[in-house]
Copies of this chain bind each other. A is one copy, B any other.
Amino acid sequence: MIKKVLVICSGGMDSITLAHMISSNPDMELKGLVCFDYGQRHSKEILYAKTCAEKLDVSFTLVPIPNLGELLKSSLTFDGQIPKGSYNQENMTSTVVPNRNAIMLSIAFGIGSSMNVDMIAIAVHGGDHFIYPDCRPEFLKTFDEMQQLALQGLSSPRLYAPYKNMSKSEIAVIAKQLDLDIVETWSCYEGGESHCGLCGTCVERKQAVNDSGVKDSTAYLN
């Protein structure tokens, strides 16, 4: 039985790699990408997600929650300065958007139930565990159990998070194996013309791609 899959896609390297990986898996059928706009600082990453859906010829669903960013405390959505430098705990705790994954997943499960898909895929990876509690395997497991109860008797997808114990470097290697050029993905928190090269997620991207041995053709300002 081929599994129908809906992917949560931010336009970043991890979720675009996941969409390509599922699209090229003969046991799976990529049905669509779902993308959230909760009032992030910029919407450049949304364009990258939409372009990915067009390239893979699947549906693209944008879910705007216009005032959610204001309501959740984080430097990603507030006026606070985005931390520069390495992607470590001290710098990055201020980029935690409380409950972001639970919110995105619960909406994706509702949409996926209506679409009759078998799986909801999310690209959380091991490197995020130490900062973001809602990226950890025990959260993902309990979330999946909760969803089976919430959708009992209805079409009820399962959670698929194949990168949950991988590093970002390993994801870069998968992208390379899939012939996916990572310039088709957007990571920078700043949302300028090019990647800034200085914010936590630019630094993390550079380092992961460098560690993987894959050539990085991203144009960084710094």
Which residues in A have some Cβ–Cβ distance to B below 8 Å?
61-68, 71-73, 96-103, 105-107, 109-111, 113-114, 133-134, 136, 138-139, 142-143, 145-147, 149-155
Contacts and interface: CB of A to CB of B under 8 A. Distances in A.
A129 to B, nearest CB: 11
Given A73-B114, A103-B107, A110-B71, A146 B142 contact: yes
A26 B33 CA distance: 48
Consensus secondary structure, chain A interface: helix
Contacts of A72: 110-111, 113-114
Contacts of A107: 65, 68, 99, 103
A109 B102 contact: yes
Contacts of A71: 61, 63, 110-111, 114
Contacts of A102: 106, 109-110, 146-147, 150
Given A72-B114, A100-B110, A102-B147, A64 B63 contact: no
B146 A146 contact: yes
A152 B72 CA distance: 16
Contact of A138 (B65, B96, B149): B149
10 contacts: A62-B67, A72-B114, A96-B154, A98-B114, A98-B154, A99-B151, A102-B150, A106-B106, A134-B150, A142-B149
Contacts of A152: 133, 136, 139
Nearest to A154: B98
A89 B114 CA distance: 19
A51 to B, nearest CB: 20
Nearest to A138: B149
Contact of A133 (B114, B133, B149): B149
